[in-house]
Amino acid sequence: MAQNGLDMDIQFLPGVGPKRSALLKKELSVGTVGELLRLYPFRYIDRSSYVRIADARPDMAYIQLKAKVIRIDLHGNSSVADAPADGPVRFNTVKRISVWVSDGSGEMEMVFFKGIKWMYEKLKPGQEYIFFGKPTGFNGRVNIVHPEIDPQTGQDSNQGAVTSMTGVYPSTEKLKNGGVTTKVMNRLLEAALNKGLEYIEESLPEYVIRQYGLVPIHFALRNIHFPKDMQSLEKSRYRLKFEELFYLQLSLLKQKYIRSRAEQGIPMPKVGDAFNRCYEALPFPLTGAQKRVIKEIRDDMKSGHQMNRLLQGDVGSGKTMVAVLTALIAIGNGYQTCIMAPTEVLAQQHFRNIQKFLEPTGVRSALLTGSSKTAERREIHAGLEDGSIGVIVGTHALIEDNVIFRNLGLAIIDEQHRFGVEQRSKLWRKSTCGAPPHVLVMTATPIPRTLAMTLYGDLDVSVIDELPPGRKPVQTIHATEGKRPALYRFMKEQIAAGRQVFVVYPLINETEKLDYQSLEAGAEDIMQKFPFPQYKTAVVHGKQLNDVKKFNMDAFAAGRADILVATSVIEVGVDVPNASVMVIESAERFGLSQLHQLRGRVGRGSEKSFCVLMTGQKMSKESRRRIELMCATENGFELAEEDMKMRGPGDLEGTQQSGLPISLNIASLAKDGLILNAARSAAEAILSEDPILHDNRNLILRKELTKDKYQVRDYSKIS
């Protein structure tokens, strides 16, 4: 079947066979020589350098030792262990062998649970071998389980390698057990290069390679697997990362170009009276960032193309203001706006905030949620249908089938990641104007720029990167249980000074047998230490009925309660400028971005505010790092960048749903921001000259983008 070396099944490579090839296919999705060549090492080891046993530590990555076998111990039932070393060994009763080795600096145990007979017979006491593996700590000593072993022959068995640097490839437990070791992988890649490399065609146009100073694909593939020297490796890495990010951006941007040409939007050329009246009545001047973003939005709306814009801004950066002014542009052009929020609490809050800005404009607004009464609901439906309601704020209730708009021209979606795909597209279909409504998605989850570019590569991104003036920084403090009496004294001082306090718990019930304090136990403790009627405590959690929740929330918002004990439901909303203290219990259980969102609930008033992170004494390294970061910075983007570095982009909060459009083999969004920028500008430059890639010199690009992996979802259609 194979037309050329690239399509050849890897089972025909020396040392593979049907069993290992099935394993490689299953574990790494590598089935052909061509696919194998595009499986890159994730690190390299220097085969010429050895670690001294005395220096080996369990936290080291893969190490290489040169050591002599001293003795081999058999472990199984006692009769085996006691058997003389030269007697016949019944291997079926042996559970594990320990191979003790020494390099003069110390001794180390190599442990085998599998392949026992083979190892026992192969390894000769008194002989020197090279051992390669990941050290682990066991009973206060360092050992290596299932190391790879080379006889110390003095020859370089790896003929493909020009240097002593050897690639280490992604692996799994099953691959290791199936004998697919680093050494086997190296031999496979050597064979794959011999069979396949000549058939690999250059995957970037000549002029792109020249313009960006890249090395050719053959050079890159040879050196990524078997680096000639450090410099060649670096150049090869750069080229392959660039290529990967370039095609990712090209595919996203191309969709955007195509859509902006094809997709008609509702032209909204005017600013309108409503906008101007609101603007003139503002109690404060807009920040520079707010002005810039409004201009970007305005340009979109008058362009005649549909707006698809993501508005990012830290908690408290003034997104609501931008949303209101955007809505008023739509109104000024004769269209309705809907503002969708993920929760009822948040919808109410938006509605309250928006009303005060709408007042001077005379625009009629309404709130529609699941708990709107029937009569009220009927009235709102009528107002939307006849167009007398200009701005509707609400939750999912807005997308019910019986909600009909007269002319919906703009949809503003807050915290988009909490909306399902299905719901978004339903909203989309509510447009009755012939063209889809403009879409503005607002998020307070600070997504690092590199990630936003990739996740929303086909959306335009606006960032409010400036907080309104006069904001007091929030002092963040880390405390453990021993400090609780001091914390309570501090809370009492703040309450005596007229302020309010949030206390947030990660759990409602102790569902698992973990020693986290549950909200219920915590609330009880608070009510005991802060007795009624001197202190008033409101409790809010997800299991309460909506009415109860609203009643308690309102009590706190209106200042009738001093303390709000809550689960993280308050994360997405509540503006209580008088609250000056945010206590987060079991803070080690929260992710960075969640902690940051919670902290953003205080520091909104004129008083100095505090965030207290309560944790247990014992924390994982990552938890400790998160707490340290929170105490060190208030900048959401800095935190998001750090978060991404710590956890990898796939895990970043708020992005799990969307995931990456394609998986990256070699580039990292966290680490390769500069290459990403270069790749993105390259893609932009090419598309601005040749949006549909029909130039001959872009033939390679056109061909590459037809591959399956670039048939990505169109994010604009679902947001």
Binding positions for ligand ADP, rule: CB under 6 A? 284, 286-287, 290, 313, 315-321, 444, 468, 575, 604
Q: For the CB of residue 253, give the shortest distance to ligand ADP in the complex, in Å.
A: 28
638 interface partner picked from ligand ADP, Mg ion, none, CB below 5 to 8 A per type: none
The enclosing H or E element of 311 equals: strand 308-313
Q: For the CB of residue 220, give the shortest distance to ligand ADP in the complex, in Å.
A: 44
316 interface partner picked from Mg ion, ligand ADP, none, CB below 5 to 8 A per type: ligand ADP
Q: For the CB of residue 639, give the shortest distance to ligand ADP in the complex, in Å.
A: 16
**Cβ atoms within 10 Å, residue 321:** 22
Decide whether 239 or 604 has the Cβ nearer to ligand ADP: 604
308 interface partner picked from Mg ion, ligand ADP, none, CB below 5 to 8 A per type: none
- Of 251, 252, 244, nearest to 203 (Cα)? 244
Decide whether 320 or 431 has the Cβ nearer to Mg ion: 320
SS3 state at 611: strand
Q: For the CB of residue 163, give the shortest distance to ligand ADP in the complex, in Å.
A: 53
* Residue 579 to residue 517: CA distance in whole angstroms: 23
65 interface partner picked from Mg ion, ligand ADP, none, CB below 5 to 8 A per type: none
287 interface partner picked from Mg ion, ligand ADP, none, CB below 5 to 8 A per type: ligand ADP
Q: Pairing mode, if any, of strands 336-340 and 391-394?
A: parallel
Residue labelled with tokens 């001197």: 534
3-state secondary structure 185-205: HHHHHHHHHHHHHHHCCCCCC
Q: For the CB of residue 618, give the shortest distance to Mg ion in the complex, in Å.
A: 36
Decide whether 97 or 346 has the Cβ nearer to Mg ion: 346
Q: For the CB of residue 470, give the shortest distance to ligand ADP in the complex, in Å.
A: 7
Q: Which stretch binds Mg ion (CB under 5 A): 83-91, 285-293, 320-328, 394-402?
A: 320-328
Q: Which stretch binds Mg ion (CB under 5 A): 240-248, 313-321, 331-339, 456-464?
A: 313-321
Decide whether 287 or 320 has the Cβ nearer to Mg ion: 320
| Sheet bearing 128-133, strands edge to edge | 135-138, 141-145, 107-112, 94-102, 63-76, 128-133, 148-151
State the burial class of residue 477 (Cβ atoms within 10 Å of its Cβ: 0-12, 13-18, 19+): middle
* Residue 426 to residue 399: CA distance in whole angstroms: 6
Q: For the CB of residue 714, give the shortest distance to ligand ADP in the complex, in Å.
A: 27
* Residue 457 to residue 461: CA distance in whole angstroms: 9
Q: Measured between alpha carbons, how far is residue 479 from residues 2, 487, 568 in Å?
A: 65, 9, 19
237 interface partner picked from Mg ion, ligand ADP, none, CB below 5 to 8 A per type: none
Decide whether 221 or 346 has the Cβ nearer to Mg ion: 346
Q: Which stretch binds Mg ion (CB under 5 A): 62-70, 265-273, 319-327, 638-646?
A: 319-327
Residue labelled with tokens 């150049």: 235
Decide whether 119 or 461 has the Cβ nearer to Mg ion: 461
Taking phi over 0 as left and psi of -120 to 50 as alpha, with beta for the rest, 146 belongs to left
Partners of 102 in the β-ladder: 68, 107
Decide whether 210 or 291 has the Cβ nearer to ligand ADP: 291
DSSP state letter for 707: S
455 interface partner picked from ligand ADP, Mg ion, none, CB below 5 to 8 A per type: none
Return the structure tokens found at 383.
Answer: 């107002």
135 interface partner picked from Mg ion, ligand ADP, none, CB below 5 to 8 A per type: none
Partners of 462 in the β-ladder: 311
The enclosing H or E element of 131 equals: strand 128-133
Partners of 94 in the β-ladder: 76
The interface mask with Mg ion, positions 267-306, x = CB under 5 A, is ----------------------------------------
- Of 378, 424, 425, 433, nearest to 405 (Cα)? 433
Decide whether 360 or 468 has the Cβ nearer to ligand ADP: 468
Q: For the CB of residue 372, give the shortest distance to ligand ADP in the complex, in Å.
A: 23
284 interface partner picked from ligand ADP, Mg ion, none, CB below 5 to 8 A per type: ligand ADP
* Residue 185 to residue 179: CA distance in whole angstroms: 10
Decide whether 220 or 440 has the Cβ nearer to ligand ADP: 440
Q: For the CB of residue 363, give the shortest distance to ligand ADP in the complex, in Å.
A: 18
Q: Which stretch binds Mg ion (CB under 5 A): 126-134, 280-288, 316-324, 619-627?
A: 316-324
The enclosing H or E element of 706 equals: none
Decide whether 321 or 687 has the Cβ nearer to Mg ion: 321
φ, ψ of residue 318 to 5 degrees: the values are 95, 40
Helices 344-358 & 319-332, crossing angle to 10 degrees? 60
Q: Which stretch binds Mg ion (CB under 5 A): 312-320, 581-589, 662-670, 674-682?
A: 312-320
**Cis amide prior to 533 (ω within 30 degrees):** yes
Q: For the CB of residue 287, give the shortest distance to ligand ADP in the complex, in Å.
A: 5
318 interface partner picked from ligand ADP, Mg ion, none, CB below 5 to 8 A per type: ligand ADP
Decide whether 320 or 476 has the Cβ nearer to Mg ion: 320
Q: For the CB of residue 239, give the shortest distance to ligand ADP in the complex, in Å.
A: 41
593 interface partner picked from Mg ion, ligand ADP, none, CB below 5 to 8 A per type: none
Q: For the CB of residue 350, give the shortest distance to Mg ion in the complex, in Å.
A: 7
The enclosing H or E element of 4 equals: none
Decide whether 574 or 670 has the Cβ nearer to ligand ADP: 574
State the burial class of residue 91 (Cβ atoms within 10 Å of its Cβ: 0-12, 13-18, 19+): middle
Give every CB contact of residue 110 below 8 A, 6+ residues apart in sequence.
98, 99, 100, 101, 131, 133, 143, 144, 145, 147
Q: For the CB of residue 290, give the shortest distance to ligand ADP in the complex, in Å.
A: 6
SS3 state at 153: coil
**With contact defined as beta carbons under 8 Å apart, do 576 and 554 qualify?**
no
Decide whether 320 or 343 has the Cβ nearer to Mg ion: 320
Q: For the CB of residue 272, give the shortest distance to Mg ion in the complex, in Å.
A: 24
**Cβ atoms within 10 Å, residue 17:** 12
Start-to-end CA span in the chain (Å): 44
Decide whether 296 or 714 has the Cβ nearer to ligand ADP: 296
- Applying CB under 5 A, the residues found at the interface with Mg ion are 320
